[in-house]
Amino acid sequence: MKHLILFGAPGSGKGTQSALIAETYQLKHLSTGDMLRAEIAKQSQLGQLADSYISQGLLLPDDIIIDLLKNTLQQLNEDTKGIILDGFPRTVAQAIALNSLVAELNQEILMLIEITVKTPELIERLVQRGKLLGRSDDNPATIQHRLEVYHQQTEPVIDFYRQAGKYNHVDGNGTIEQIFDRICLILDPLVAINV
Ligand code: AP5
Ligand code: MG
């Protein structure tokens, strides 16, 4: 089983593009943010904890999020071709844990693809979504904080995959379709090798 990581700042289009990738390449889309928001909706214990972090734009503690992912990877159906990871790993500690976990389960990380988008465009997209959908972290102050957390805690993950020879990136400015075409240019040859 081979997994892809879609990586990028808040608002870079990870969720949007992951859904298209999942459909086109028959991968399972796994968004840690969506999983946590589902727990919040259920008002579970994890949801209550997640709510306090998410609404402040802070990352949940690594051990909690690693456990969540571990349970999910362990329970994968054997028919699953692979996963598109959206929002994980978000710290170097998470990347290290993911490496051990996939090795244990005889799975593999094929590649990390970073979507790069200019900051004013990121802010604009998130502010617009905040007005439309009212996500608790889509207000100007929390958006600013999420971007700082991204630069400080998440961006170092890029070097981890660069050093492993598993890093790639696409320009995330443009229409959703244009960006998806750029991602397909990277994925099509990989799929041809790995079928
Ligand atoms: P998460 O849910 O992962 O949020 P995020 O990384 O902040 O990113 P977003 O979901 O806001 O953006 P996206 O890149 O998916 O873009 P999207 O496609 O939606 O995490 C939320 C929180 O959960 C974290 O802050 C943390 O608290 C916690 N968490 C999650 N994972 C964790 C982890 N591993 N460790 C610890 N804590 C964790 O697009 C954004 C908007 O732009 C949409 O409205 C979309 O329609 C629009 N759009 C997309 N593409 C385009 C385009 N090309 N042109 C114009 N608009 C576009
Ligand atoms: Mg998302």
CATH number of the domain at 108, please. 3.40.50.300
DSSP 172: -
* Averaged pLDDT for residues 177-186: 97
- Indicate whether 195 belongs to any domain: no
Tally of residues, the chain: 195
Residues 159 and 161: their CA atoms lie apart, in Å, by 5
Q: Which long-range contacts (CB under 8 A, 24 or more apart) does 127-134 make?
A: 129/11
The CA 69 to ligand 2 mean position distance, Å, reads: 16
Domain holding 120, by residue range, is: 2-189
The model's confidence at residue 194, banded by pLDDT at 50, 70 and 90, is low
Convert the pLDDT of each residue in 13-53 to its tens digit. Answer: 999 999 999 999 999 999 999 999 999 999 999 999 999 99
Convert the pLDDT of each residue in 62-121 to its tens digit. Answer: 999 999 999 999 998 888 999 999 999 999 999 999 999 999 999 999 999 999 999 999
The count of structural domains within the chain is: 1
- Indicate whether 137 belongs to any domain: yes
The model's confidence at residue 176, banded by pLDDT at 50, 70 and 90, is very high
90 labelled catalytic = yes
The CA 9 to ligand 2 mean position distance, Å, reads: 9
**What crossing angle do the helices spanning 92-104 and 156-163 adopt, rounded to 10°?**
40
- Indicate whether 25 belongs to any domain: yes
The model's confidence at residue 6, banded by pLDDT at 50, 70 and 90, is very high
Convert the pLDDT of each residue in 131-161 to its tens digit. Answer: 999 899 999 999 999 999 999 999 999 999 9
- Indicate whether 115 belongs to any domain: yes
Give the pLDDT of residue 190. Answer: 83
Provide the 3-class DSSP secondary structure of residue 30: strand
DSSP 165: T
Residue 124 has pLDDT above 90, yes or no: yes
70 labelled catalytic = no
